[in-house]
Amino acid sequence: MTDIQADLTQPMSIAIRPAPSRQRGAGIAPWLYLAPALILLFMWTYVPLVEAFKLSFYQWNMLPTAPQRFVGLDNYRRIFALSEMRTALWNTLFYIIGLFPMSVIIPLFVAILTQDLQGRLRMLYRTLIFVPMIVPPVVAAILWRWLLSDDHGLVNNLLALAGLGTVGFLTDPHCALATLTWITGWKLIGFSTLLFSAANAGIDRSYVEAARIDGASRWQIVRDIRLPLLSPTIMLLSMMTILFGAQWSFAYISVLTNGGPLKSTTNIFYVLWEYGFETLSAGWSAAAGMITFASFAVIAFCCLRLMKRYAVYDN
C-alpha cells in the first residue's frame, strides 16, 4: 500500500473551522448609517415639538429680552373661545373635502382612461396634466390673480362678454374659499395622476388578459381588477389629502387673500402663522399647533388602520 493509498484509507478529518465570528460592533453599522438622518429628525422635529408643547403653557411675545409668563391652560381656553378659530377649523374641513375630487377621484379616472393612449395624444395629455405641477406655488398664485382680477382679469372679461357680469372670485366671501380650493386642487391633479399612472402601469397584465379571455368588459376589468389593486394608492392619496390638503393651500392664502375677505379663506395653518409671526403671540400659536398636531395624529392613526385593513396588494 502506497503512502497515498494509506492516506486515503484513513478517516478523513475535516478541519472544521468555526464560523467567522461576527466582528465586534458589526451590529452597530446600520445605526451608524442611520445616525445622521435620526439626528436631523430628532433635532428638527421632536425637539421643536417638545419646545412647542412647553411654550403652549406660556405667554410670550417672542422677544429674547421679554420674560415668558406661565399661564397654564389659558392659551387653550382662549383659543377655543375665539370665533376666528372655529371659522379656521370649518374652512380647514372645507379645503379637505373640496380637494378630494381633484386629488383622488379625477386623477384616478384620468389615469385609467388614458392608460392605452399612444403617440402625440399621450404627450398632449401628459403636458396638460403635469404642467401645473411644475409651476411654483407663488408663480401660480400670481397667474391666477391676473386671470381672476375683478377689473381686468381674463375670466371676468369673458364672463362680461357673455353677459354674465363679473364675479369677485377673490374678493367675495362666498366665492373666495371655493376659488382657493380650486387653485390648490389644480396644482395637485398632476401629482396624483402621476402616482395613479405609475400604480396602474404596475398591474400585472396577465390578470387583464385572463379577464378579457373570459369575456369581461372594460368596466368589469376596472371594477374587479384595477380598482382593487389601486386601493393602496387611493388610500395613500386620501390620507395625504386629509393630512396635508389644507397645508398645501397656505401659499395661495398668503399671496392672494391674506386670509380674507372677512377671514373666509383662512385655515388652521394660516392662523398658526398669524398668531406666531403677525401678532407675536407665541403661546397661542404653540397651543393651536398642539391642538392641530393631536387632531391630525389621531386622524393619521385611523387612516393607517383603514389602509392596513382594506388595501389589496398583489402578493
* Per-domain residue ranges of the chain: 71-310
Model pLDDT, residue 79 = 86
Residue 287's nearest CA partner among 93, 17, 77, 112 is 77
- Residue-level pLDDT at 113: 85
**What pLDDT shows up at residue 309?**
87
Which residue ranges in the chain fall short of pLDDT 70? 1-26
Beta strands in 198-262 (DSSP E): none
Q: How far apart are CA 234 and CA 108, in angstroms?
A: 8
Query: What is 71-310's CATH topology?
Result: MetI-like fold (1.10.3720)
Q: What are the DSSP calls for 26-54, one per residue?
A: GGGHHHHHHHHHHHHHIIIIIHHHHHHHH
C-alpha gyration radius of the chain: 29
Q: Specify the DSSP element, H or E, that contains 261.
A: none
What residues contact residue 293 under an 8 Å CB cut-off, 6+ apart? Answer: 49
CA distance 204 to 27: 38
